[in-house]
């Protein structure tokens, strides 16, 4: 991102994307929609984004001129910028996020529902005239490699240049995406306005049956970058069910052993629970000496479909990372830290005296002088960086980035991993008995809440497949869709559950985590290949202490007992709770999943 001060590359006039008659005909639905939105929002100008460097330079210069972006230290963080959002606009707002289906049951109890006609009327009243004095940006984008059959296109209309700059990093945005839309015709419609940034006038509406998103009143990435959670999960999960694939809140990581064999793992964790750290894992020193390598395909979202050989193949629909900054350090995630040293947009971090970005946990010997609100830093008044402060950066800058991320066919998945933040009961890792059991493991997943969403932090809630805030339809139907992949000839991944966050009696974490998590992944790959040992329990197969390579890791007796142990009484209560949770979805809940819960509950009681 150049710091050019010229602002002449952005047109101030309304424009059409293509001029010849045949192209206009093929894009008529898009042109008509843009005209309809312009008539509603009444912008001063319309700009069709082409994704070019010149366009981005001019856009960034315009934001630098009006203070939307603040330059950071060009020597230490070249091409990088700071954005400060409104203090009341710093995270996803799940209570204001709606799935608007014709039938309420289709959205399910896992979503806030509003009738489509009512939702359109409510939010369109807010959009009425909201872009006066602003430029309306039309952003054609592709989620996934441009030539992948699993990729899907969308168009976001926004009045936020910050959103444009972020979408350029997070998606394949601009002319190539528009060309694919021209070829295919279909696309997801996304309309966004920052509005007045008033929490009382803020909604994120999804219309799965119309492949449409409307977001008003927020500039925060999770609410405003409509290609991300809104399209790639809420709308895509609905598309995936109808078209026979899966859209999941999962990282994709490749584990290459010393023999040069690579296994790809997809893993689902709630936001701010270590997805990016695992996706960019640095092997422990001994593993590095032995020749182990880790390849990052994706850190947040995974789209999977069955391949001709019966295996699931996955792509990362995103082109960048929208990661949580606090806690990112040379110790926790050196790859992420290296990735964001240049050409990065930081949001709501603190800054040092020499204008470097700073956040809690960075541990770089620097100290903040300004907090995320732009005020002089005072530790007594709160952290320098907001707990959900973010960085946006191109994935290709990651040292462990895998070229397979651009493979249009995707990568074959050997294992699926579920995991949450559980201080007690749940062991370090266990393997499900079969696919149906694995679906139950994902459906029953629980985690303590984090700062990635508004509300109380540290409250345990069920978060099936880490999709509670993101599934675009009834969870009961979603579980049935998962079960439907278990067909004759399918070679489905093994399913595991992990818990990096188990604590001891003194409140400290018992497992070192970070790079040492590779020791657990090695055991999983061994299970996939039929080479690693384990012990059968009612909840699944657990490794014994000796089944993991723990060279160089010192675990206390308490840690060994709790990380590798099985607490029958606690699991009896857990499965009673799981049964109640499944029953809460009523008759739509697949009987196969209820039978599996009852089978395990019976074993626990026996």
Residue 271 is assigned to a ligand binding site = yes
- Return the axis-axis angle of helices 435-443 and 475-483, rounded to nearest 10°: 160
Q: Which residues of 310-324 are buried (b: 16+ CB within 10 A; e: fewer)?
A: ebbbbbbbbbbbbbb
Determine whether the annotation assigns residue 390 to a binding site: yes
Of the candidates 332, 316, 312, 313, the residue with the CA atom closest to the CA atom of residue 324: 332
* Residue 186 annotated as part of some ligand binding site: no
> Is 92 annotated for ligand binding?
yes
- Smallest CA-to-CA distance from 366 within 3, 77, 2 is with 77
Tokens 């339809």 sit on residue: 473
259 is in an annotated binding site: no
Q: Determine whether the annotation assigns residue 277 to a binding site.
A: yes
Q: What is the dihedral of CA 525, 527, 532, 538, to 10 degrees?
A: 140
- The reply, when asked if residue 502 is annotated as ligand binding, is no
> Could you tell me the CA-to-CA distances from 62 to 55, 72, 84, 137 in Å, in that order?
11, 16, 16, 14
Is 275 assigned to a binding site?
A: yes
Residue of 273, 302, 398, 471 with catalytic role: 273
Q: Which of 105, 94, 188 is nearest to 140 (CA)?
A: 188
Annotated binding residue 242: no
Q: How would DSSP label each residue in 172-203? A: EESHHHHHHHHHH---EEEEEE-TT--GGG-E
Q: What is the 3-state secondary structure (H, E, C) of 374-421?
A: CCECCHHHCCCCCCCCEEEEEHHHCCCECHHHHCCCCEEEEEEEEECC
Distance CA 416, CA 399 (A): 24
The residues pairing with 233 across neighbouring beta strands, listed in sequence order, are none
Of the candidates 502, 523, 517, 494, the residue with the CA atom closest to the CA atom of residue 565: 502
Tell me: is residue 276 an annotated ligand-binding position.
yes
DSSP, res 453: B
Helix (H) or strand (E) holding 242: helix 236-243
Does the annotation place 486 within a ligand binding site? no
Would the annotation count 354 as a binding residue? no
Q: Is 586 annotated as a binding residue?
A: no
Q: Is 49 a catalytic residue?
A: no
The answer on whether 515 is annotated among ligand-binding residues is yes
- For 206, other C-beta atoms within 10 Å of its C-beta total 31
Q: Is 519 annotated as a binding residue?
A: no
> 464 Cβ partners below 8 Å, 6+ apart?
110, 442, 443, 444, 445, 471, 475, 478, 479
Q: Is 517 annotated as a binding residue?
A: yes
43 and 136 Cβ atoms separated by less than 8 Å: yes
- Give the β-pairing of 172-173 and 81-83: unpaired
Q: Is 364 annotated as a binding residue?
A: no
Residue 333, marked binder? no
Give the residue numbers of the binding site for Mn(2+): 229, 249, 300
Residues that are catalytic: 273
Give the residue numbers of the binding site for substrate: 92, 220-222, 271, 388-390
Give the residue numbers of the binding site for GTP: 272-277, 390, 421, 514-517
Give the residue numbers of the binding site: 92, 220-222, 229, 249, 271-277, 300, 388-390, 421, 514-517
């Amino acid at each position: 991102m150049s710091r050019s001060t010229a602002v002449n590359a952005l047109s101030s006039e309304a424009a059409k994307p293509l001029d010849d008659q045949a192209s206009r005909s093929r894009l008529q639905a898009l042109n008509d929609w843009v005209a309809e939105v312009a008539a509603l929002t009444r912008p001063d100008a319309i700009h069709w984004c082409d994704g070019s460097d010149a366009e981005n330079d001019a856009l960034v210069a315009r934001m630098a001129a009006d203070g939307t972006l603040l330059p950071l230290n060009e020597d230490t963080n070249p091409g990088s910028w700071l954005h400060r959002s409104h203090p009341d606009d710093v995270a996803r707002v799940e209570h204001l996020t709606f799935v608007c289906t014709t039938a309420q049951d289709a959205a399910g109890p896992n979503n806030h529902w509003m009738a489509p006609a009512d939702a359109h009327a409510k939010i369109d009243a807010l959009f009425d005239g909201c872009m006066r004095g602003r430029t309306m940006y039309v952003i054609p984008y592709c989620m996934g490699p441009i030539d992948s059959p699993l990729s899907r296109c969308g168009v976001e209309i926004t009045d936020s240049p910050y959103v444009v700059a972020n979408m350029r990093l997070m998606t394949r945005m601009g002319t190539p995406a528009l060309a694919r839309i021209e070829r295919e015709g279909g696309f997801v419609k996304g309309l966004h306005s920052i509005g007045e940034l008033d929490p009382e006038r803020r909604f994120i509406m999804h219309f799965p049956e119309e492949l449409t998103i409307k977001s008003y009143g927020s500039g925060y990435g999770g609410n405003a970058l409509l290609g991300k959670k809104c399209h790639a999960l809420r709308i895509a999960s609905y598309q995936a069910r109808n078209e026979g694939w899966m859209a999941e809140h999962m990282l994709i990581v490749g584990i290459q052993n010393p023999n040069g064999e690579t296994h790809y793992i997809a893993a689902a964790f709630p936001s701010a629970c270590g997805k990016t750290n695992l996706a960019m894992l640095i092997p422990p020193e001994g593993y590095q000496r032995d020749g182990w390598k880790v390849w990052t395909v994706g850190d947040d979202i995974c789209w999977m479909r069955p391949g001709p050989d019966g295996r699931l193949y996955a792509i990362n629909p995103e082109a960048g990372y929208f990661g949580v900054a606090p806690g990112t350090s040379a110790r926790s995630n050196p790859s992420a830290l290296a990735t964001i040293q240049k050409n990065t947009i930081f949001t709501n971090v603190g800054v040092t005296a020499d204008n470097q970005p700073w956040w809690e946990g960075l541990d770089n010997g620097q100290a903040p002088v300004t907090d995320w609100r732009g005020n002089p830093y005072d530790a007594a008044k709160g952290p320098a960086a907001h707990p959900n402060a973010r960085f946006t950066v191109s994935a290709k800058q990651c040292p462990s980035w895998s070229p397979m991320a651009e493979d249009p066919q995707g990568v074959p998945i050997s294992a699926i991993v579920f995991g949450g933040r559980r201080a007690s009961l749940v062991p370090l890792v266990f393997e499900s008995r079969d696919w149906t059991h694995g679906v139950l493991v994902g459906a029953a997943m629980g985690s303590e809440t984090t700062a990635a969403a508004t509300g109380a932090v540290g409250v345990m809630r069920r978060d099936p497949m880490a999709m509670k805030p993101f599934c675009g339809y009834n969870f009961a139907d979603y579980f049935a869709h998962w079960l439907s992949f278990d067909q004759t000839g399918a070679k489905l991944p093994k399913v595991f559950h992990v818990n990096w966050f188990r604590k001891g009696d003194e409140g400290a974490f018992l497992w070192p985590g970070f790079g040492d998590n590779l020791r657990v992944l090695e055991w999983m790959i061994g299970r996939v290949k039929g080479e690693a040992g384990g012990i059968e329990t009612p909840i699944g197969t657990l490794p014994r202490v000796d089944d993991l390579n723990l060279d160089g890791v010192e675990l206390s007796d308490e840690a060994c007992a709790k990380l590798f142990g099985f607490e029958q009484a606690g699991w009896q209560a857990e499965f009673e709770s799981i049964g109640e949770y499944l029953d809460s979805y009523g008759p739509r809940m697949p009987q196969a999943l209820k039978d599996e819960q009852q089978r395990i509950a019976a074993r626990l009681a026996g």
